[in-house]
Amino acid sequence: MVDSRAVAIAQAHLEAWTNHDLETARGNLAEDVKFHSPAGTLVGPDEYMDAPRGLVQFARQVVPGSLRVIAAMGDERNALIMYEVDTETKTFPSAQTWLLDDSGKIQVERIISYVTPRG
């Protein structure tokens, strides 16, 4: 895995919300944060966190401590992390990209969910 400022911040954000530390997760967000996913786009910290398809709704389903980072790379402002988290019923694999603003806050987050074939 590549060590970089953006990867460290994005991974700390993942660690926070997957362990249900939602206050820390909210603190990682820029005021103009934009979150893009297959389900839609959320704008601003309140919508990102509290919308019906926001982070709080998903994070509550995640088993704390289940985050497994598969791969990570990035530079000072951009990060890409592939990871998995567990819920009570299944494992969710995901890949996400993050763009940081000049102060190191998450300005853009894009999630790309994928399904792995079962053998």
pLDDT at residue number 27: 98
Has residue 118 been placed in a domain? no
- 118 confidence band (pLDDT: 50, 70, 90): low
The CATH number that applies at residue 35 is 3.10.450.50
Has residue 119 been placed in a domain? no
pLDDT at residue number 49: 97
Q: How many domains does the chain have?
A: 1
pLDDT at 113 over 90: no
Has residue 81 been placed in a domain? yes
Is the Cβ–Cβ distance between 48 and 108 less than 8 Å?
no
Query: Which long-range contacts link 66-73 to residues 24+ away (Cβ below 8 Å)?
Result: 66/18, 67/14, 67/15, 67/18, 67/19, 69/1, 69/11, 69/14, 71/1, 72/1, 72/2, 72/7, 72/10, 72/11, 73/1, 73/2, 73/4, 73/7
Q: Which domain holds residue 91?
A: 5-113
Has residue 27 been placed in a domain? yes
